[in-house]
Amino acid sequence: MKIYTRGGDEGKTSLFGGKRVGKDSQRVTAYGTVDELNSNIGWLRAHGLPKAQDELLHRIQNDLLIIGSNLATPEIKDGVSGKGVQLSEGSETFMEEAIDAMEKELEPLTHFILPGGSPPAVALHVCRTVCRRAEREVVKLARDSAVNPAILKYLNRLSDLCFVMARFMNKTIGCGDLRWEK
């Protein structure tokens, strides 16, 4: 099977199920931004992380593929796409546990911090901002289309995890937070 089909040469693409839509449709924008996030996480992982953080992000990459496939499937029933693997209610709780564990190692946050420090922390801040954009795009899609509410919870928690993990990586590497100064 060839990778190119020429089917998108005029600005349209196929969703799961075969429906053709513009490549600038809100659905495509939403799952495309989730794909961008997944690629950024892959880039980060390729540069080496401690085992626990790498395993956590590997799990998240798998979940993001599920989210993207759900968003690319327009047949919706009861707020969930009708095909494929789904995120379940509470699928974000493992991230809450990871956030809590990392925060135990960190000084309480008493000021704004700048995205920076070590290369892994900077990459995590990039992932956080792409995640926030993905969340906004999914919210926009949910205005007119049914979206599994577990997806929004997951993306919201993931951006929190990226923030805390960035701080944790800086502490682990010995950089510390970059404090915002007025």
Is the pTM here over 0.85, yes or no?
Answer: yes
How far apart CA 13 and CA 15 sit, in angstroms, is 7
In this prediction, residue 83 carries a pLDDT of 59
* Per-residue pLDDT band at 173 (split at 50, 70, 90): very high
How far separated are the first and last CA of the chain, in Å rounded?
57
* Per-residue pLDDT band at 10 (split at 50, 70, 90): confident
- Lowest mean per-residue pLDDT among 38-47, 70-79, 153-162: 70-79
In this prediction, residue 76 carries a pLDDT of 57
69-83, 84-98, 142-156 — most confident range: 142-156
- Which residue, chain included where needed, has tokens 């992982």? 45
Percent of the chain with pLDDT over 70: 87
Q: Which two tokens stand for residue 35?
A: 């794909």
What is the DSSP-derived secondary structure letter of residue 3? S
In this prediction, residue 38 carries a pLDDT of 98
Cite the DSSP H helix spans in 23-112: 26-46, 51-71, 93-103
In this prediction, residue 98 carries a pLDDT of 97
How far apart CA 164 and CA 169 sit, in angstroms, is 9
**What confidence tens digit (pLDDT) does each residue in 116-131 have?**
999 999 999 999 999 9
Mean pLDDT across the chain, nearest whole number? 89
CB crowding 100-138: b at 16 or more within 10 Å, else e: eebeeeeeeeeeebeeebbebbbbbbbbbbbbbbbbebb
* Per-residue pLDDT band at 91 (split at 50, 70, 90): confident
In this prediction, residue 13 carries a pLDDT of 65
Q: Are 79 and 147 in contact (CB under 8 A)?
A: yes
Q: Are 125 and 116 in contact (CB under 8 A)?
A: yes
How far apart CA 146 and CA 127 sit, in angstroms, is 26
Domains, the chain, ordered by start: 24-175 (1.20.1200.10)
Mean pLDDT within 11-33: 79
pLDDT of 80 above 60: no
